[in-house]
A and B are shown apart, each in its own frame.
Chain A
């Protein structure tokens, strides 16, 4: 890649890509510019403009590679980050373009070359590197959050208006009641009724803390279906947030630690409850492809990863004994349906629940606007998508919106609330767990049985 560096005023101008994580030429050239992806792209649907389409973004990436567009041109930054990385384009592309890795590399280029004010770097480093770099720290923070919710401090704070001032109102509206106790690897285990199979649960950062009870529900359901569940010690956040933000080094560090943590458990399936984490874990092989020590191990690890709905739908589900008489609708997380192409499995599970009525919503696979931390940085676009999603969900008259990813759950919660709906948002496994009888039917070894 030719790099022409030219000083223009005080600004350093770079032509082409340089450094690590360059959008791969072969991947870029797989695009034949047919435009079949356009209608699937949420940002194109909202704006009708070519630069906000997958084909447009790929053209911009190619233009930078060809030296026709400056890497630091505002449109490049704008479009690489306006993209939700929802991968809807990838799922429909007839030519098999791997869009995700391309946009992630493009973002990494921006991270490497874009001058950022010192304070921004510091905040990003602190939030993404320090906080998510070690699960213990996040657990401590979430513990604080729970204290804040439990003590009703939240109401008092809301009254002061300080949240609005700090622009944290939306963040707060999204946050569900935090689980009573975080799920800590090594402390809880679930035994199966029969069979010698075992499954390793990937805990995740947000899932293991805010949504710890969802993970417990997943473990109970898996155990009911004949596999013992435990959580290998030493596992960390999956690094998806980092990959999406172009912070590849941080992501690779986390990936290596996770591979280490899970290696002792041989070939046992690694079951994941968050679609976003699952997609990232399944791509460790690619993420570490240039690391001689970890390339193969990464690929082997990735091959073990299963979304929990994927895992459960692979076999015959033990029929859940209880009927759940309720009307629900299913919202497909992008990183489940598009990145992992898992779409029939969650529905199969829901259909296994007696009494449940599943009404499909319109555009169930169009991004809800959550997209990692997108809804915090690009509120307007995210709100438009969230409102669109909420309207479709409300149309179905469902009293529960079922999904399979924490980001979606939070975004849906806020969007439904904003649109006047009282529908609850739950994970597929929570509903299944209810149909199996919930926590009391399946005592766990360790933490859960201590309650």
Chain B
């Protein structure tokens, strides 16, 4: 199919306002939120903006027929290059499918289209006493579809769990254009849990066109503690002690001095500028428990060497404390023109040692690294600050990355807590997954998308899918024909 007829047929499905194909119109679809890191950009052949599931299915069928790659895109805030069309093809942007279809108060669920913005779902349901618990720091911009595809987490996932714990069912357009529903109102159900397979699949198994998500009752009381420490070490020890005491805060976040310097002048959140690190700890529940736990945690922090412990209960005060944290990543732009961050997870007991190692790496490569992360579940976000235009900077960042990732995996950690693998970390997956692990995943990919057209060049190491998929396809073919060649 040549370009002209592709565009004609896409316009037949969507009308002229729903398709972009002029080269200069495609420029702004060559990146996502990771573009300032180490991820490559790529231009799609066309961008489509459907408004219905049927349109999505028609686009996918057309792509299937033409053998073109398809990449789903939400708000493009992803940090691993997930929404970048690495092999060109068609981008399906879901931003115009942004209706909250139904809120079911009795069942505490919401049925939403994938383009609904995370925070706006919570803002809509909060007056009725409910919220959507996964709260990535990007929640004011990112979409539910993107959250599902990346299995996103956020500060409050320490207590409430990540996206997968809040998705009950999905309407999905499969790579051949069929529309299916996975899961449903009832938990569990016999058979394979296809909802679970879809969550975190990085847009490689299907396009989510509707999501049935769980709503969480808003807690009766909420308290945020800000504890300042002389250095990161003391703060991470305090973290271990809080968790070690059997307390599960709603959130437990750590910010180091560099982060405080980026955030405080911009948001005046009230973080002490002379602190070496601060912990932001949120507790929620019934009034009495919250008060008692707050006192207990404050005591633990003081014992662990906190120089100051403050608490906030009023909504406005709490919001301000959180705002600084939530804006921290992007606020790094104030310290350097580019940043690149990792998303590794280490066992909580290894936090202090890991932070030491990160500090060593920072000094070794002469590369400022800021730390702001979900300390409660050991999910690090070391942010490397650099200037792409300075010779050697990108190389140093990549080298330092390798060291950090290696170390985290060595101490028993994982490559990504919540940002996904995408293109960005695909070459590191062999650090954590064996050949057999990968083959098992490739098997799932292959049964959903035998042609390998959905979001290619993601997750699996470079070159992996082509060979592997071909082999699997040959195997399937052989079995079908009754030839058992191996």
Cα–Cα distance between A69 and B266 once the two chains are bound (Å): 33
Known contacts A48-B95, A96-B266: A36-B141 contact under CB 8 Å: yes
Known contacts A94-B333, A96-B333: A34-B33 contact under CB 8 Å: yes
Cα–Cα distance between A75 and B27 once the two chains are bound (Å): 10
Q: Does B96 contact A (CB under 8 A)?
A: yes
Asked if residues B49 and A38 are in contact (CB atoms below 8 Å), the reply is no
Cα–Cα distance between A70 and B339 once the two chains are bound (Å): 28
Among B29, B120, B333, the one with the most A-chain Cβ atoms within 10 Å of its Cβ is B333
Asked if residues A32 and B24 are in contact (CB atoms below 8 Å), the reply is no
Asked if residues A35 and B98 are in contact (CB atoms below 8 Å), the reply is no
Asked if residues B95 and A49 are in contact (CB atoms below 8 Å), the reply is yes
Known contacts A34-B138, A35-B76: A94-B331 contact under CB 8 Å: yes
Asked if residues A38 and B141 are in contact (CB atoms below 8 Å), the reply is yes
Residues of A within 8 A of B35 (CB): 33
Asked if residues B334 and A68 are in contact (CB atoms below 8 Å), the reply is no
Asked if residues B334 and A48 are in contact (CB atoms below 8 Å), the reply is no
Among A63, A93, A95, A97, the one with the most B-chain Cβ atoms within 10 Å of its Cβ is A95
Cα–Cα distance between A33 and B78 once the two chains are bound (Å): 10
Asked if residues A95 and B29 are in contact (CB atoms below 8 Å), the reply is no
Asked if residues B337 and A29 are in contact (CB atoms below 8 Å), the reply is yes
Question: Closest Cβ of chain B: how far from A396's Cβ, in Å?
Answer: 15
Residues of B within 8 A of A60 (CB): 27-28
Cα–Cα distance between A97 and B266 once the two chains are bound (Å): 12
Contact of A32 among B25, B27, B141, B330 (CB under 8 A): B330
Residues of A within 8 A of B140 (CB): 36, 39, 92
Asked if residues A63 and B27 are in contact (CB atoms below 8 Å), the reply is yes
Annotate B22-40 by CB proximity to A: 1 below 8 A, 0 otherwise.
1011011101110110000
Cα–Cα distance between A63 and B25 once the two chains are bound (Å): 12
Among A33, A56, A68, the one with the most B-chain Cβ atoms within 10 Å of its Cβ is A33
Contact of B330 among A36, A59, A76 (CB under 8 A): A36
Cα–Cα distance between A60 and B30 once the two chains are bound (Å): 11
Q: Does A31 contact B (CB under 8 A)?
A: yes
Known contacts A59-B27, A60-B27: A32-B76 contact under CB 8 Å: no
Annotate A47-65 by CB proximity to B: 1 below 8 A, 0 otherwise.
0111101011001100100
Asked if residues A35 and B27 are in contact (CB atoms below 8 Å), the reply is no
Question: Closest Cβ of chain A: how far from B359's Cβ, in Å?
Answer: 23
Contact of B36 among A33, A38, A50, A68 (CB under 8 A): A33
Residues of A within 8 A of B120 (CB): 39
Q: Does A171 contact B (CB under 8 A)?
A: no
Asked if residues B75 and A38 are in contact (CB atoms below 8 Å), the reply is yes
Cα–Cα distance between A53 and B32 once the two chains are bound (Å): 13
Question: Closest Cβ of chain B: how far from A4's Cβ, in Å?
Answer: 17
Cα–Cα distance between A63 and B27 once the two chains are bound (Å): 8
Interface residues of A in 83-98 (CB under 8 A from B): 92-97
Q: Does B338 contact A (CB under 8 A)?
A: yes
Cα–Cα distance between A92 and B119 once the two chains are bound (Å): 15
Residues of B within 8 A of A29 (CB): 337
Asked if residues B138 and A75 are in contact (CB atoms below 8 Å), the reply is no
Interface residues of B in 4-46 (CB under 8 A from A): 20, 22, 24-25, 27-29, 31-33, 35-36
Residues of B within 8 A of A48 (CB): 49, 93, 95-96, 98, 115
Contact of B27 among A33, A37, A49, A69 (CB under 8 A): A69
Q: Does B117 contact A (CB under 8 A)?
A: yes
Cα–Cα distance between A349 and B278 once the two chains are bound (Å): 37
Could you tell me how many residues of chain B have their Cβ less than 8 Å away from some Cβ of chain A?
39
Asked if residues B24 and A75 are in contact (CB atoms below 8 Å), the reply is yes
Cα–Cα distance between A53 and B28 once the two chains are bound (Å): 10
Cα–Cα distance between A56 and B120 once the two chains are bound (Å): 22
Q: Does A30 contact B (CB under 8 A)?
A: yes
Q: Does B327 contact A (CB under 8 A)?
A: yes
Contact of B33 among A30, A33, A63, A97 (CB under 8 A): A33
Known contacts A48-B49, A50-B28: A36-B327 contact under CB 8 Å: yes
Asked if residues A96 and B334 are in contact (CB atoms below 8 Å), the reply is yes
Annotate B241-267 by CB proximity to A: 1 below 8 A, 0 otherwise.
000000000000000000000000010
Closest to B331 in A: A94
Cα–Cα distance between A132 and B35 once the two chains are bound (Å): 43
Asked if residues A50 and B29 are in contact (CB atoms below 8 Å), the reply is yes
Among B31, B32, B330, the one with the most A-chain Cβ atoms within 10 Å of its Cβ is B330
Contact of B338 among A32, A49, A73, A75 (CB under 8 A): A32
Residues of B within 8 A of A30 (CB): 333-334, 337
Could you tell me how many residues of chain A have their Cβ less than 8 Å away from some Cβ of chain B?
34
Cα–Cα distance between A37 and B138 once the two chains are bound (Å): 10
Residues of A within 8 A of B266 (CB): 94, 96
Question: Closest Cβ of chain A: how far from B277's Cβ, in Å?
Answer: 20
Residues of A within 8 A of B22 (CB): 75
Cα–Cα distance between A73 and B332 once the two chains are bound (Å): 33
Q: Does B57 contact A (CB under 8 A)?
A: no
Residues of A within 8 A of B28 (CB): 50-51, 53, 55-56, 59-60
Asked if residues A32 and B36 are in contact (CB atoms below 8 Å), the reply is yes
Cα–Cα distance between A59 and B32 once the two chains are bound (Å): 11
Residues of A within 8 A of B96 (CB): 48
Cα–Cα distance between A68 and B24 once the two chains are bound (Å): 9
Question: Closest Cβ of chain B: how far from A410's Cβ, in Å?
Answer: 29
Residues of A within 8 A of B75 (CB): 35, 38
Closest to A63 in B: B27
Residues of A within 8 A of B329 (CB): 34, 94
Asked if residues A35 and B338 are in contact (CB atoms below 8 Å), the reply is no
Interface residues of B in 319-346 (CB under 8 A from A): 327-334, 337-339
Question: Closest Cβ of chain B: how far from A114's Cβ, in Å?
Answer: 16
Question: Closest Cβ of chain A: how far from B136's Cβ, in Å?
Answer: 11
Residues of B within 8 A of A68 (CB): 27
Asked if residues B138 and A35 are in contact (CB atoms below 8 Å), the reply is yes
Residues of B within 8 A of A32 (CB): 36, 330, 332-333, 337-339
Q: Does B239 contact A (CB under 8 A)?
A: no
Cα–Cα distance between A68 and B25 once the two chains are bound (Å): 12
Closest to A92 in B: B140
Cα–Cα distance between A34 and B96 once the two chains are bound (Å): 20
Annotate B305-327 by CB proximity to A: 1 below 8 A, 0 otherwise.
00000000000000000000001
Residues of B within 8 A of A53 (CB): 28
Asked if residues A51 and B333 are in contact (CB atoms below 8 Å), the reply is no
Closest to B333 in A: A95
Residues of A within 8 A of B25 (CB): 51, 75
Q: Does B77 contact A (CB under 8 A)?
A: yes
Question: Closest Cβ of chain A: how far from B328's Cβ, in Å?
Answer: 8
Annotate B49-74 by CB proximity to A: 1 below 8 A, 0 otherwise.
10000000000000000000000000
Residues of A within 8 A of B330 (CB): 32, 34, 36, 93-95
Known contacts A48-B115, A59-B27, A95-B334: A35-B95 contact under CB 8 Å: no
Question: Closest Cβ of chain A: how far from B321's Cβ, in Å?
Answer: 15
Cα–Cα distance between A272 and B475 once the two chains are bound (Å): 76
Closest to A79 in B: B28
Residues of A within 8 A of B338 (CB): 32
Cα–Cα distance between A92 and B332 once the two chains are bound (Å): 14
Closest to A44 in B: B95
The 6 listed contacts between A and B (C-beta, < 8 Å) are: A32-B338, A50-B28, A63-B27, A75-B24, A92-B140, A96-B333
B residues with a Cβ closer than 8 A to A are: 20, 22, 24-25, 27-29, 31-33, 35-36, 49, 75-77, 93, 95-96, 98, 115, 117, 120, 138, 140-142, 266, 327-334, 337-339
Lowest 3 CB-CB distances: which A-B pairs, in order?
A: A95-B333, A48-B95, A94-B330
